[in-house]
């Protein structure tokens, strides 16, 4: 199992990822497919930009009245015969679910894809209690077989190629004929389906996440493309929804308007294939459904973000568009970030949830190219929020001593223009002289961070400001 969090070793993780040919090949899909699909579907919908504005405003409204909507939601869940468990921390959250499972004598739990269950370490907690967690999402199932964590919030196995999956299935499903054909994605899917079906039926408890919790009706909503969500919540006796508190929306109509931007931003689909709503346990007139319905509402650091400069991050609807468009994510993939949430959203959220002392690299490892913000359906200013983390680090003296020293020295000169002109004038002339005949440096003391990847273009000679002064003097002399 991946050791969490490995965010403090981000640099080491990144280096390994860059050297991993198999990973680099798999990341090729992210670089092209997601981006083209989103662009096409956004272009087809003229009101897409207006929908993003609406989505942002709606999420802001919810965050401003979160307490009101959460209480309304709880009332509705109770009215429909369900239970609500409020939890502060990750440990509490997984303990509640483990206790529920134990007290119902459960031996296995069927799980739909849920990032918050990763956040609370649910699988490991169940395992420790001797209860088997079965991931029912194809991607999650594959990485569970491999003992890995998700590398993407909507495509957990995106770091793998088809041949990696085939090899894994052949290694694990030893009871199936050795000469079976697994050369097509469909055959892999069919094999996983067949294996999973039996496990759905055997599971005593189904755990799902939620894309949205609807205050008006007490409904939880999940979207999937495989339909596994439905099965993991309908077949078992007990359905547990685990969701973080900011997932709330006021009405079903609001959920519908967010769904319109969610699937488009995520996979470039107009709608996900399955949108599943569940409200309370099975009623007398229902043909199926669980006998018990529980909601575990996880705070785990969110309420601290409310009212802080990071509040906007809570607008996130977990579409993954920011990482799909991120050059850093494209280069190193999701595991390098070292915790549950990768990419730009992870670079903001992870320090909030596990501490900037552990996750400090994440908001720094960004070029601030702004492509994430330009596609985020709820218009989260991700670069600005990453910069706020850099400010916190700077204030707390967490940034590396060497870069602080450099910055301090640079600022000293930058705030003294005359001295700056004198010092830079000398330095640039010296550098130009040193590079004469070459126009560039292949290595330079103190600049190895630059020159280990690329040459450093040499200065032309005198600075602009020195030349401009001479130029102006000459102009004045002319009649």
Partner 1 sequence: MSDNNKAGPEIRVGLLVTCLVDLFRPGIGFAAVKLLEDAGCVVSVPSQTCCGQPAFNSGDRANARAIAVQVMDAFANVDYVVAPSGSCGGMLARHYPELFEDDPALSARSRAFAAKTHELVSFLVDVLGVQSVQAAFPYAVAYHDSCSGLRELNVRDQPRTLLASVAGLQLREMKDSDVCCGFGGAFAVKYSDISGAIVSSKTACVEASGAHTLLAGDLGCLMNMAGKLARDGSKIEVRHVAEVLAGMTDAPPIAAAAPEKA
Residue ranges binding ligand SF4 (CB under 6 A): 265, 316-322, 345, 376-378, 380
Name the burial class of residue 420, with classes exposed (0-12), middle (13-18) and buried (19+) by CB atoms within 10 angstroms of its CB.
middle
Q: 40 or 124, CB closer to partner 1?
A: 40
* Residue 321, binding choice from partner 1, ligand SF4, none, Cβ under 5 to 8 Å by partner class: ligand SF4
Shortest distance (Å) from residue 403 CB to partner 1? 7
Shortest distance (Å) from residue 455 CB to partner 1? 4
CA distance 452 to 450: 6
Q: Are 244 and 118 in contact (CB under 8 A)?
A: no
Hunting for tokens 């102006």 — which residue is that?
Answer: 472
Shortest distance (Å) from residue 152 CB to ligand SF4? 10
**Site mask, partner 1, residues 46-85, x = CB under 8 A?**
----------------------------------------
26 touches partner 1 by CB under 8 A: no
φ and ψ at residue 460, rounded to 5 degrees = -70, -30
Shortest distance (Å) from residue 305 CB to ligand SF4? 13
Of the candidates 244, 372, 259, the residue with the CA atom closest to the CA atom of residue 320: 372
433 touches partner 1 by CB under 8 A: no
Q: Collect all residues with Cβ–Cβ distance below 8 Å to 306 and sequence separation of at least 6.
A: 63, 66, 314
Shortest distance (Å) from residue 418 CB to partner 1? 8
> Of the candidates 40, 189, 407, 430, which one interacts with partner 1 according to CB under 8 A?
407
CA distance 211 to 222: 5
* Residue 171, binding choice from ligand SF4, partner 1, none, Cβ under 5 to 8 Å by partner class: none
Helical segments of 10-81, H only: 10-18, 21-29, 35-44, 48-64, 66-79
Binding span for partner 1 by CB under 8 A among 107-115, 128-136, 276-284, 405-413: 405-413
CA distance 345 to 366: 12
Shortest distance (Å) from residue 437 CB to ligand SF4? 49
- Binding residues among 353-372 for partner 1 as defined by CB under 8 A: 364-371
Q: 141 or 310, CB closer to partner 1?
A: 310
CA distance 396 to 386: 15
Shortest distance (Å) from residue 353 CB to partner 1? 20
373 touches partner 1 by CB under 8 A: yes
457 touches partner 1 by CB under 8 A: yes
Q: 118 or 373, CB closer to partner 1?
A: 373
Using alpha carbons, list the distances in angstroms from residue 386 to 309, 310, 369, 375. 11, 9, 12, 16
- Residue 163, sorted as left (phi over 0), alpha (psi -120 to 50) or beta, turns out to be alpha
Shortest distance (Å) from residue 464 CB to partner 1? 4
327 touches partner 1 by CB under 8 A: yes
Q: 48 or 420, CB closer to partner 1?
A: 420
Q: Are 159 and 27 in contact (CB under 8 A)?
A: yes
Hunting for tokens 């590079």 — which residue is that?
Answer: 435
For residue 404, the tally of other CB atoms under 10 A from its CB is: 14
Shortest distance (Å) from residue 269 CB to ligand SF4? 15
> Of the candidates 11, 107, 171, 197, which one interacts with partner 1 according to CB under 8 A?
11
Q: 120 or 319, CB closer to ligand SF4?
A: 319
Q: 26 or 319, CB closer to ligand SF4?
A: 319
CA distance 44 to 411: 48
Of the candidates 26, 294, 312, 13, the residue with the CA atom closest to the CA atom of residue 161: 26
Shortest distance (Å) from residue 332 CB to partner 1? 6
In this structure, the strands spanning 238-244 and 205-208 are parallel
* Residue 322, binding choice from partner 1, ligand SF4, none, Cβ under 5 to 8 Å by partner class: ligand SF4
CA distance 343 to 356: 16
397 touches partner 1 by CB under 8 A: no
* Residue 316, binding choice from partner 1, ligand SF4, none, Cβ under 5 to 8 Å by partner class: ligand SF4
Name the burial class of residue 366, with classes exposed (0-12), middle (13-18) and buried (19+) by CB atoms within 10 angstroms of its CB.
buried
Residues of this chain that interact with partner 1 (CB under 8 A) are 11, 14-15, 18, 327-328, 330-332, 364-371, 373-374, 384, 387, 389-395, 399, 403, 407, 410-411, 413-415, 417-418, 420-421, 424, 428, 437-440, 442, 447, 449-450, 452-465, 467-468, 471
């Amino acid at each position: 199992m991946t050791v969490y969090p490995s965010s403090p070793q981000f640099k080491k993780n990144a280096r390994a990822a860059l050297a991993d040919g198999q990973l680099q090949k798999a990341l090729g899909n992210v670089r092209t497919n997601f981006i083209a699909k989103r662009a096409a579907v956004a272009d087809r919908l003229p009101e897409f930009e207006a929908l993003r504005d609406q989505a942002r405003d709606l999420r802001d409204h919810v965050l401003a009245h979160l307490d009101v909507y959460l209480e309304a939601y709880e009332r509705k869940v109770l009215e429909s015969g369900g239970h609500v468990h409020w939890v502060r921390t990750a440990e509490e959250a997984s303990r509640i679910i483990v206790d529920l499972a134990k007290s119902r004598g459960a031996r296995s739990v069927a799980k739909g894809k849920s990032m918050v269950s990763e956040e609370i370490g649910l699988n490991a907690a169940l395992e420790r209690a001797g209860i088997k967690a079965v991931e029912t999402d194809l991607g999650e199932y594959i990485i569970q077989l491999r003992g890995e964590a998700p590398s993407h919030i909507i495509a957990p196995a995106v770091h793998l190629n088809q041949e990696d999956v085939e090899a894994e299935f052949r290694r694990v499903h030893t009871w199936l004929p050795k000469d079976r054909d697994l050369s097509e994605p469909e055959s892999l899917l069919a094999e996983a389906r067949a294996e999973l079906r039996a496990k759905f039926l055997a599971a005593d408890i189904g755990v799902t996440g939620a894309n949205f919790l609807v205050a008006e009706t007490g409904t939880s909503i999940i979207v999937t493309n495989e339909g596994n969500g439905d099965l993991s919540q309908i077949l078992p006796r007990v359905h547990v929804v685990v969701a973080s508190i900011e997932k709330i929306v006021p009405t079903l109509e609001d959920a519908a308007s967010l769904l319109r931007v969610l699937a488009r931003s995520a996979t470039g689909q107009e709608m996900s294939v399955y949108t599943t709503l569940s409200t309370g346990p099975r009623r007398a007139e229902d043909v199926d459904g669980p006998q018990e319905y529980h909601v575990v509402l996880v705070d785990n650091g969110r309420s601290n973000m409310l009212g802080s400069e990071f509040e906007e991050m809570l607008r996130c609807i977990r579409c993954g568009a920011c990482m799909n468009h991120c050059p850093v994510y494209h280069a190193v993939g999701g595991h390098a970030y070292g915790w549950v949430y990768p990419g730009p959203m992870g670079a903001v959220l992870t320090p909030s949830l596990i501490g900037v002392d552990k996750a400090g690299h994440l908001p720094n490892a960004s070029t601030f190219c702004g492509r994430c913000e330009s596609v985020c359906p709820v218009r989260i200013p991700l670069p600005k929020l990453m910069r706020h983390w850099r400010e916190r680090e700077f204030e707390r003296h967490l940034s590396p001593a060497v870069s602080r020293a450099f910055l301090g020295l640079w600022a000293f000169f930058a705030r003294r223009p005359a001295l700056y002109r004198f010092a830079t004038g000398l330095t640039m002339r010296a550098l130009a002289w040193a590079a004469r005949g070459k126009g560039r440096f292949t290595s330079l003391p103190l600049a190895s961070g630059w020159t280990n990847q690329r040459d450093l273009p040499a200065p032309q000679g005198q600075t602009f400001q020195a030349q401009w002064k001479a130029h102006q003097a000459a102009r004045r002399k002319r009649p």
